[in-house]
Amino acid sequence: MRPFFVLLLLSWYAAIPVAMFAQDGDSQESAQCTFDDGKQMIVRYNSLKIGKNDNPPYGKTWSPGGAAMTLFTEAEVTLGGKTVPTGGYTMYLVPGKKDWALIVSKNTSASAAYSESQDLARGTMESGMMPEAEKEFKAFFGHLGPKTCEFNVSFGKVRAWTEFKEK
């Protein structure tokens, strides 16, 4: 079953035009985490350069780089106590002055406007300040344990993170 899923996932992703992700010459980036059983989670997003006085839109749903991040997961995972089944989704951030939120949406179009009615899971992201500011928005995973991947984002001096747990 797993090889079929990987083939299905790759063929679905290949059908999405790359042009819909790129905005104003920015490039597409990706982050991935592999659980101990070999199943992976992959997030794709547009890179975004950060200016000296740029701030994320506090309290509002945000798609860094002008398009939603996309999530592909081979494993059934949880975020904020809600189940995210195997498959493809979009993700949005809600930056806050203290904590951020990460939203996984059932919508699969990275160029579609955010709709709360499509929310599948929402997780609180802890945040902290880094000593040096990042010059670009970054997203990456940390593999914390056999069934835990920590999703991190960096914007300027802020780093926010939350955990996905494999079921």
What would the pLDDT profile of 20-41 be if each residue is shown by its tens digit?
333 444 589 999 999 999 999 9
Instruction: Say which amino acid occupies 104.
Output: V
Rounded mean pLDDT, 121-147: 96
Mean pLDDT of 60-86: 97
CA distance linking residue 95 with residue 79, whole number of Å: 17
Q: Work out the average pLDDT over 44-60.
A: 90
Residues 6+ away with beta carbon under 8 Å from 97: 58
Residue 45 has pLDDT above 70, yes or no: yes
What pLDDT was estimated at residue 53?
79
Residue with tokens 């101990």: 36
Average pLDDT, the chain: 87
pLDDT at 55: 85
State residue 42's pLDDT score: 98
